[in-house]
């Protein structure tokens, strides 16, 4: 499980989009990639952990690797139960984003002990921004 945390507008969601694009360019089909952003009101019903798990379970392809991207997962009540259930599946590669306020509180470490790699993102510095625009 990969967890990307950072301040708002630091590029977490964009990183997910870039990685999905990379997967597609390397032969992964669209039906193997599942992305959900929990800041989108269209996904509000899936903030219930049982509904989210059922939704994801129905989308999983049993004979292929499935890449699941859950953006701003802290909006899902008891999300750790969902991600634990997905983590134990051999055909799921799981990616999560969330706010620094939640993930750096230490609560994530308690909930997902030993089952994740965390990447902390920061927005570009002014120097990096200028270099990128050259």
Domain that holds residue 91: 2-132
Q: What is the pLDDT of residue 31?
A: 97
Give yes or no for a contact between 71 and 47, defined as CB atoms under 8 angstroms apart: no
Q: Which helix (H) or strand (E) holds 127?
A: helix 126-132
Which residue bears the tokens 């708002």? 8
Report pLDDT for 104. Answer: 46
Q: What is the pLDDT of residues 31-47, one digit of tens each?
A: 999 999 999 999 999 99
Chain center to CA of 16: 7
CA distance 57 to 95: 16
Contact between residue 115 and residue 94 where contact means Cβ atoms under 8 Å apart:
no
Q: Using 50, 70 and 90 to split pLDDT, how confident is the model at 128?
A: confident
What are the structure tokens assigned to 123, written together?
């927005």
pLDDT digits (tens, 9 = 90+) for 74-127: 899 888 889 989 998 999 999 998 765 555 445 555 655 556 667 777 677 788
Domains of the chain: total: 1
Tell me the pLDDT tens digit for each residue of 48-83: 999 999 999 999 999 999 999 999 888 998 888 899
CATH number assigned to the domain comprising residue 24: 3.40.50.300
Identify the pLDDT of residue 7.
64
What secondary structure, in 3-state letters, does 63-107 show? CCCEEEEEECHHHCCCHHHHHHHHHCCCCEEEEEEEEHHHHCCCH
pTM tops 0.75, yes or no: yes
pLDDT reported for residue 109: 53
């Amino acid at each position: 499980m990969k967890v990307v945390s950072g301040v708002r507008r630091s590029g977490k969601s964009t990183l997910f989009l870039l990685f999905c694009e990379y997967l597609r360019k390397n032969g992964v089909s669209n039906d193997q990639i599942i992305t959900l952003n929990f800041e989108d009101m269209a996904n509000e019903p899936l903030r219930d952990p049982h509904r989210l798990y059922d939704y994801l379970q129905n989308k999983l392809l049993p004979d292929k690797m499935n890449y699941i991207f859950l953006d701003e997962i802290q909006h899902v009540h008891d999300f750790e139960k969902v991600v634990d259930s997905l983590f134990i599946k051999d055909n799921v590669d799981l990616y999560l984003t969330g706010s620094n306020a939640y993930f750096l509180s230490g609560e994530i470490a308690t909930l997902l002990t030993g089952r994740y790699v965390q990447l902390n993102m920061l927005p570009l510095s002014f120097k990096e921004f200028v270099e990128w625009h050259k």
